[in-house]
Chain A
Amino acid sequence: DQQVKQNSPSLSVQEGRISILNCDYTNSMFDYFLWYKKYPAEGPTFLISISSIKDKNEDGRFTVFLNKSAKHLSLHIVPSQPGDSAVYFCAASAEYGNNRLAFGKGNQVVVIP
């Protein structure tokens, strides 16, 4: 039973526009959420995170929003750039500092120049 769900497996967006990736989770104990980015032939790399005490975290062009009541988070990329073309994984853990992350299946983002 998948605890972290990413629907809409792929997204195409024009360069300069906003990319929005969505993630839903089922485990109410999750309190730390992360996004990872993965290029072909490379391992996933950490992008941005948010703890459950916040509802927004921003890092440059990347912003993550958390809606705890809806068990939903989203990643906004503004403006999208061709180098953002990658697979994005949503991940969550229970208890800040817990070693194990639950991952979603990933979203493929293609930014069209």
Chain B
Amino acid sequence: NAGVTQTPKFQVLKTGQSMTLQCAQDMNHNSMYWYRQDPGMGLRLIYYSASEGTTDKGEVPNGYNVSRLNKREFSLRLESAAPSQTSVYFCASNRGAIGYTFGSGTRLTVV
């Protein structure tokens, strides 16, 4: 079982470049999430999608956009990358009372 798959695993961007982080889940989960993890800051929610066709801001949405392409896929886009967006990004999904299943992460460096 693949669970939650994130691509790419690593990425280096120059300031001002754009990119899209991809996430797909094969568990038929309704809800999907994007988090970033920074040292001493824990997991902070960027955006989430409670169901296909809906998206909502989390606690740190600035500089990001998301698309819930279908039930399986939830992408995160950085339109103009900044050094402050250097982080490890995790996608997660869940359904109802079941806890989150996380992907293995994307390590992004913006120089």
Contact = CB atoms under 8 A, between A and B. Distances in A.
Interface string A59-98: 0000000000000000000000000000001000000110
Nearest to A51: B97
A22 to B, nearest CB: 15
Interface string A1-38: 00000100100000000000000000000001010100
Interface residues of A, number: 22
B27 interface: no
Given A43-B104, A104-B42, A99 B31 contact: yes
Contacts of A89: 42-43
B41 interface: yes
Most buried by A among B41, B43, B94, B105: B43
Contacts, number: 51
A45 B104 CA distance: 10
Interface in B29-57: 30-31, 35, 40-43, 45, 48, 50
Most buried by B among A9, A36, A41, A99: A99
Interface residues of B, number: 23
A100 B40 CA distance: 21
A101 B100 contact: yes
B10 to A, nearest CB: 10
Contact of A43 (B40, B50, B103): B103
Contact of B104 (A32, A42, A100): A42
In order of increasing CB-CB distance, the 9 nearest A-B pairs are: A43-B102, A105-B42, A97-B97, A103-B43, A99-B31, A46-B99, A97-B96, A43-B104, A44-B102
Interface of B: 4, 30-31, 35, 40-43, 45, 48, 50, 90, 92, 94, 96-97, 99-105
